Structure 1
């Protein structure tokens, strides 16, 4: 592996990136202010042929991307809008992520929206082909106040993100299963549900692991059953109101709901 230094010039905006692997490039895409008063930018990961990277919940393999903006100036917070992932089934293991290229839209709150901002990104992420490796990249970009860049590309990336569900309800239960636990979630809708939906369960507790669920039809809904493991000390309690459920369709669209 070797270090690659890339300097890009986007109009009047300088973007610099350093990547410590030969299989991907990471670039910040400057954007523009939104009607809500936040600045929209993007982070693009471009991968060599045959390589993939991962979603926020990578599934049964891989590492999720971790965005660190702490070195930035005139930035108070950053929110990632996650593109809908592909579902990869490899050797009986399911993972969620992206191949070739992906743009993550990022919304920034600024201390002074009328002033320039300097973004400095430290990104840890996973890459996988025949082998899987942890990767790291650093990138920076100047965001000039009042300018517009990459509007069409960022708008397209936002259209491909997960949407909040409407007309869906979920009921969850934790049940004993052999020497472990199982999460059963019944999802119902006010419209027909696709029978090949892939469900992903996420909890804020880092010590609670929820595996890949199986799905069966149950009345007017779908029952998803997933193995659970607790890696903390003592007993655990599932915070059902904080459970995030994402349903991914075969057509690469996705909706999510919180609470069950």
Structure 2
């Protein structure tokens, strides 16, 4: 998690537990927002169960993408204390970039639903969810919030309102990048400044590239460059001392014609 570098007052909400043995939790209220965890349907044959973290922001408040930018608190969800589930993973709708003078951030300044996929250890054995959620919501005060939701997805898997909320959230995930809409690294490996070529429909002036600095990487905000009728993004890179072990760096390319998600090889 990045350090909070915002020029704001910090207010901490201590861990609490929201216990509701239903397929969705009650709302957890905090300054500037309220959140709840929702599931819908039954796990599939591989033990995957879909849900959503519902974040209702008050006007003037914001929350963050998977990589918040210069400062902020990325949302996380952890089910490691739950013996019934192997993992939980957030997906993210396309973010916006906001420039507030001394810092930039990537995220949302409107109510947002983050899709989440839970993986059961045993697809044939139903289990309650014990999920620890951590995120930040900010105005002039930044509030890092930690709470635990305990719910029972099997108690009401066919609740229409929950099913609709989950379906709409997953529908807003950008589709995978492809040859016509995506980003390709064209610099040599090990470069301190990486150049990426972007291909996409729509206006070049509308294009924004967001890259998540996972695995200890430090990245500058991608800078758009137009050359010879093509669009490039220049990114300053500081690589970690250790060898990255994941699948790559997540990115989202956003234009006025839509957005796509993809993975970049480690620089």
Rounded Cα–Cα distance in structure 2 between residues aligned with 1:49 and 1:157: 21
TM-aligned CA deviation for residue 85 of structure 1: 1.6
TM-aligned CA deviation for residue 49 of structure 1: 2.5
Which residue of 2 is the match for residue 155 of structure 1? 167
Identify unmatched segments of 5+ residues in structure 2: 1-10
What does residue range 1-260 of structure 1 map to in structure 2 within 5 Å? 13=23, 15-16=25-26, 21-33=30-42, 37=46, 38-91=48-101, 93-144=103-154, 147-149=157-159, 150-167=162-179, 168-173=182-187, 181-188=192-199, 194-206=204-216, 208-230=217-239, 232=240, 242-250=248-256, 253-259=258-264
TM-aligned CA deviation for residue 31 of structure 1: 0.9
Rounded Cα–Cα distance in structure 2 between residues aligned with 1:8 and 1:117: 14
Does the CA-based 8 Å contact 1:16-1:140 persist in structure 2? Answer: no
Does the CA-based 8 Å contact 1:116-1:145 persist in structure 2? Answer: no
Structure 1 residues 238 and 210 mapped into 2: Cα distance closer, same or farther (>3 Å)?
farther
CA RMSD of aligned residues (A): 3.5
TM-aligned CA deviation for residue 35 of structure 1: 5.3
Normalised TM-score (structure 1): 0.79
Rounded Cα–Cα distance in structure 2 between residues aligned with 1:92 and 1:50: 18
User: Which structure features the higher share of strand residues?
Assistant: 1
Does the CA-based 8 Å contact 1:52-1:99 persist in structure 2? Answer: yes
- Where 2:157 maps in the other structure, the secondary structure is coil
TM-aligned CA deviation for residue 158 of structure 1: 0.8
- Where 1:139 maps in the other structure, the secondary structure is strand
Does the CA-based 8 Å contact 2:254-2:260 persist in structure 1? Answer: yes
Structure 1 residues 187-241: Cα deviation after superposition (integer angstroms, max 9, x where no partner): 235x5664321112235431x21111211222343111122335x55xx8899x8
TM-aligned CA deviation for residue 15 of structure 1: 2.4
- Where 1:144 maps in the other structure, the secondary structure is helix
Identify unmatched segments of 5+ residues in structure 1: none
Rounded Cα–Cα distance in structure 1 between residues aligned with 2:111 and 2:45: 28
Normalised TM-score (structure 2): 0.77
Does the CA-based 8 Å contact 2:52-2:165 persist in structure 1? Answer: no
How many pairs were matched up?
A: 249
